[in-house]
Amino acid sequence: VSKATARMAAVAEGSPAASAAAAKEAEYRKDVQKLVDLLSKLNPAAKEFVPSSAAATPRKGLSADAPVFYYGSIGGRNGGIAGYPGADAGYIGYQQRMRRNVYINHGRRRTNERARRADREESIRRTVYVSELDHTVTEERLAETFANCGQVVDCRICGDPHSVMRFAFIEFSGEEGARAALNLGGTMLGFYPVRVLPSKTAILPVNPKFLPATEDEKEMVIRTVYCTNIDKKVTQLDVKSFFEELCGEVSRLRLLGDNVHSTRIAFVEFVNAEGAIQALNCSGMILGTLPVRVSPSKTPVKPRLNRVVSN
């Protein structure tokens, strides 16, 4: 029996702490022997592997202290410039691109804003404000009255349905028409002389989603009228009966309202265009308890979409 074996046997017979220390030493010697066996299998002539992107290229005519620039580091997340700690070429390039894009987008926004402002100011110069309109005056009649001054592009009557007097905005195709329209101030239109002044605002355009998109919808608009100041107690059947008795057969009708306004509006589409023309003469007639106002519609009565009920 060797001395080491005898010593281990003697320790084993000793305290538990001594036994644990001996076991640790044996485990350590075993791990060291495994490492020695592994290293002995390596090729001693092997060279260290260096990636091509990190390989230093020979520098000609440069100082030994000059920093090395790696082209492959541009755009990389962790690429950098040797000699400048903390500098990230990819991040710097990203910042420059973002700054350039911000300048370009900001310039485009400013150009678009200037163009929109110029269009709005030009539209205001072509628009007049007409006040002192009574409830019998329709948009069609108002447009016909001012058509002698120039081509009318849009005509919009506004005002409280409970008020006797209303106001309107009329936009012409040119500024000459708007200037000529100022001379019509004092003209009797309905029961009162109207006032005509240069407008300070442009007419808000109709939502393009509601405008006719096809030839069929344009034909539908010709057969459709827009009605306002409808009593809330009036039903859809009452509106249909009212117009069919005076104007002709109604093909489609949409009665709208909410809890905010005291009156309702309606879009009435007739089978024939003659019915829509005749309906314009009904403006001012009593429907329910209020005089209804009728004007040509700018939008068709689109069919309701069937809602899909999900379980």
Q: Which amino acid is at 212?
A: P
Of 75-79, 212-216, 235-239, where does mean pLDDT reach its minimum? 75-79
| Ranges of each domain in the chain | 124-198, 208-296
Name the residue type at position 187: T
124-198 shares its CATH topology with 208-296: yes
Band of the pLDDT at 242, cuts 50, 70, 90? very high
Query: Domain 124-198 classified CATH 3.30.70.330?
Result: yes
pLDDT score of 58 more than 60:
no
**Alpha carbon distance 81, 75 (integer Å):** 12
Model confidence over 194-227: pLDDT tens digits?
999 998 887 766 666 666 668 888 888 889 998 8
Q: What's the confidence (pLDDT) of residue 214?
A: 80
Alpha carbons within 13 angstroms on the beta-carbon side of residue 286 total: 2
Give the pTM.
Answer: 0.41
Instruction: For residue 19, give the amino acid letter.
Output: S
Strand partners, 224: 269
Question: How far is Cα 234 from Cα 186, in angstroms, rounded to an integer?
Answer: 37
pLDDT the model gives residue 305: 56
Tell me the two tokens of residue 291. 């005089």
Q: Copy the structure tokens of residue 122.
A: 């030009």
User: Which has the minimum average pLDDT: 15-24, 193-202, 231-240, 241-250?
Assistant: 15-24
Mean pLDDT of the chain: 77
- Look at residue 57 and tell me whether its pLDDT is greater than 60: no
Summarised one tens digit per residue, pLDDT across range 268-286 is 999 998 999 899 888 888 9
With 60 as the cut, is the pLDDT of residue 6 above it?
no
Per-residue model confidence (pLDDT) at position 19 = 77
Instruction: Give me 10's structure tokens.
Output: 């003697």
Structure tokens at 207: 């939502």
Identify the CA nearest to 236 among candidates 281, 266, 272: 266
Q: Looking only at Cα atoms, what is the longest distance across the chain?
A: 137
Q: Beta-strand (E) ranges in the chain? A: 127-134, 152-158, 165-172, 188-189, 192-193, 195-198, 224-231, 250-256, 263-270, 286-287, 290-291, 293-296
Query: Can you give the pLDDT at residue 40?
Result: 73
Instruction: State which CATH number among 3.40.50.300, 3.40.50.720, 3.30.70.330, 3.30.360.10 fits the domain covering 208-296.
Output: 3.30.70.330
Which pLDDT value is given to residue 7?
Answer: 59
Q: What is the pLDDT of residues 120-172, one digit of tens each?
A: 888 889 999 999 888 778 787 888 899 999 988 888 887 765 566 788 899 99
Type of residue numbered 64:
A
